Structure 1
C-alpha cells in the first residue's frame, strides 16, 4: 500500500493548481482533490490508466480555458488491481486521510458498488465513469454518486436487440464470473428474449486470471447458437475474439462485444474483428466535436492510444463536476458530496464528447448511444479508423426508463 501511495502523490502533484500561479494559490479557494481509482496493470489498463489521467487533465484545462471561476485541483491515481478489498481500502484511505472530495472511474463493478456505499457514508462524491452494472442507478442508486458513461442495460439493448432483429435469434454467452459479467449477461438476456430470441447456453470463466478460452469456445460452438455474446471487457474480449477467429468460429457464429471499446478492437486487428457489433456512446471520429476533443487530448495520451469511451466519460464527468463546484463555490462543494450531486443534477451537461445532456434523478447521465460495426480491413484508412456507424439510439431510448430501475431516490 505504501508504494502505491507514493505513486499517487507524484501523480497528484503534477496536476496541482492547474490554471493558478503559486502566489495566487496561497489565497485561492480550497483545493479540490480528485482520485482516479482505475486499472494500471490489468486487463483494462489501456482503457483506463494513464489515458484517464490525460483526459482528466484535459477537463481541468478546458474548464480553466472556458473562463469560469478559477479552481485549485489536485489529482491522485491508484490501481485497484480488480480486488474489492484493495479498491475499498484505497477509497476509504482517500476519503478519510487524503482529503479526496471525488473518486472517479472505478472500472470494476464489484468495487464500484463498495465505493458508492463509502461515498454515501462519508458524504463525498463518486463519479462512476468506469463501471457498467446498471444497479448503480437502479436498486443500488444513492445520493452521493452518478453513473456516467455506459451501463449493462444500455449495452445489452443496443447490440442485443439489433442483433436479434437482424436474424441472430439464438445466443450463447461467454461471461466473466463477477458482478459486471453477471449483470451484462442478465440485461442482454432480457433484451434478447424481449426481441424474440432465445438463449441456448452459457459458460462463466474465472476473472481476471483466465487467458485461454478454447474450452469455453468449444462449448459455444457445440451449442449451435447463431450468436456468441461476450459478457466481458478489455483484454478478455480481445483474447476471446482472437481465439474465436483462429478456431474458425467467426465463420459460423456472429460475435457481439457487449462491452467492447475502440482500444480493444485496435488490439484485435480488423482481420479478426471485422463484422463485430458493439455499442458505444463515444467514438473519436463520430463528429466535428469528438474530433476536436481528440486533437486536444492526443498529445497528453500514452503512445499509440486514442481516447476511448471510458476516457471520454472521465473527461465529461470531471468537466461537469468542476463546473458545478465553481457554481457552488469549492468550499461548499467540499462540505457535502450529497449537495454537490444534487447541484450536478440541476445543471445541464455539455461537452465535446457527448454533446448536451443531463443527470437524471436516479443518478444516470443521459446521452445518445451508437451501434457500430467493425470495418473490413480493406475499408480501414488509418490505424484507428475502425468503425462504421450502423445506427443511432437517441438519449431517451438508450437508457433504461427511470420507472423500471427500482431506484429508491425516484419519487412516485
Structure 2
C-alpha cells in the first residue's frame, strides 16, 4: 500500500509546475540587475545599480530567515532584443525570479512583457515611461521612482508659474523621449502654454549645434531637453558654448540626474530646474545610506535610479520571504499588501497599476558660490505630495484598474 502511494505522489509532483515543487530552490532568491554598463545611462545606473542591489541583499541577510540572495548583472546595450534575450535566459536557465533596474524605456517595456509571460517580477526601478503603469501595465510589474508623467507635470507647472509658456522640444528618438514630450505637453497646454516645435535626435548624438540653433530661432521662451544621460550633458554644454539660453530662451531639462550635473559643472548647469524622487542630501536617512554607498563607489553619491534599485529589491525580498512565493503575480500582490518600510523615498503604497507612490521634489541647481562640496548641487524649491506627484489612477488606462 505504501509503495503505490509513494509512486502516485511522485507522479503528481512530476506533473506540478516547478514553482509549486520548489518555491525557493536551494533556499535562494535570484535577482537580475539588467542595466546599461557602458552606454549613455551607465553613470546613473550601471555599476552603481549593481552595487545598490548587493547592498539590499546584504541588508536583507540578518532578517532573511535563512533565504540566500544572489545578484546577477547583465548589460542590455540599450537594445530591446538584447534585453529580452538576457531576461529569457536568466529566467529559464538561471532561475531568476525578478529583474530590476531596466533603464531605457524600450528595453523596460519589452522585458516587462517577458516577465509577465514567465510569471516573474519586473522591478522597473529606473524606467521612466509612464506606459508601464498605463496601457502596458501588468500584474507582475512594479514601477519605482519617477515616470514621464510626474516629470512633465512637475516641471510644466513650475515653468508656467514663471510665465515660461512657449516651448520647443529637443527629443531623444526612442520611447523615453517621446513619452516625456507627451506627458509634459498635456499640462503645458492645459495651463495655457504652447509648443512651437520639436526635433527628434537619435540616442547617442554628440553634436547638438543644429537642433539648438533651430530651437533658438523658433522664438520659444523655453528650449526643453527631452533626453537624459550623456545626451543631455552634451546638449547643455553646447548650449552654453553657443550662448543659447544665456539671453532669450531658457534651457530646461525634463530628465537630468546628479551625475549629469556633476559632469556639467555648476558653472554650466546653475539655475536649471529639475524634478527628482531622491537626492542624497535630502534628510538624515538619505545621507546615511548615500554615504555608505559612496564609500564603496569611489566617493560618488547615488542617483535616484540606484537608490530605487535598492528600495525595490529590499521590498521585494521582504515580501517573498513573508509570503513564501516566487510566483510573479502572487509576489506583486504581496508587495502591494505589505506595508512599505522605505526610508529613501518615503513611499506610501503600491497602487493597483503597479505605481509606487512617494513625494517628488523640485530642485534648483546651485551656483558655484552656493556649493560646499562636489555633490552639493541642489536647492530644494518645492515638495510635491505623493497624491499630486503621479498621474491619477483612473487616467492611465491600465487594464488592472477596475
Q: TM-score scaled by structure 2?
A: 0.92
User: Which residue in the other structure is 2:51 paired with?
Assistant: 54
Conserved 8 A contact 1:348-1:356: no
Pairwise CA distance, 1:352: 2.3
Pairwise CA distance, 1:68: 4.8
Conserved 8 A contact 2:140-2:332: yes
Shift in CA distance, 366/308, structure 1 to aligned 2, threshold 3 Å:
same
Give the 5 Å matches for 1:200-219: 200-208=196-204, 210-219=205-214
Conserved 8 A contact 1:160-1:192: yes
User: Could you say what secondary structure the match of 1:249 adopts?
Assistant: coil
Pairwise CA distance, 1:31: 1.1
Distance 1:200 1:356 in 2: 37
Distance 1:176 1:115 in 2: 21
User: Which residue in the other structure is 1:343 paired with?
Assistant: 334
Conserved 8 A contact 1:132-1:180: yes
User: Could you say what secondary structure the match of 1:45 adopts?
Assistant: coil
Give the 5 Å matches for 1:293-304: 293-301=289-297, 303-304=298-299
> Are 2:90 and 1:94 equivalent residues in the alignment?
yes
Conserved 8 A contact 2:273-2:365: yes
Question: For each residue in 1:85-117, what CA deviation from the matched residue of structure 2 results, as whole angstroms up to 9, or x when unmatched?
Answer: 111111111111111110111101111111111
Conserved 8 A contact 1:255-1:277: no
Q: How many residues are aligned here?
A: 378
Give the 5 Å matches for 1:12-411: 30-65=27-62, 67-208=63-204, 210-251=205-246, 252-301=248-297, 303-329=298-324, 332=325, 334=326, 336-411=327-402
Pairwise CA distance, 1:297: 1.8
Conserved 8 A contact 1:169-1:226: yes
Question: For each residue in 1:70-92, what CA deviation from the matched residue of structure 2 results, as whole angstroms up to 9, or x when unmatched?
Answer: 32011111111111111111111
Distance 2:191 2:162 in 1: 11
Higher Rg of the two aligned structures: 2
Question: For each residue in 1:179-231, what CA deviation from the matched residue of structure 2 results, as whole angstroms up to 9, or x when unmatched?
Answer: 110000111011211122111111101123x1101000011110111111111
RMSD value, Cα: 1.3
Distance 2:374 2:300 in 1: 11
User: Which residue in the other structure is 1:10 paired with?
Assistant: none
Return 5+ residue gaps in structure 2 as ranges: 1-23
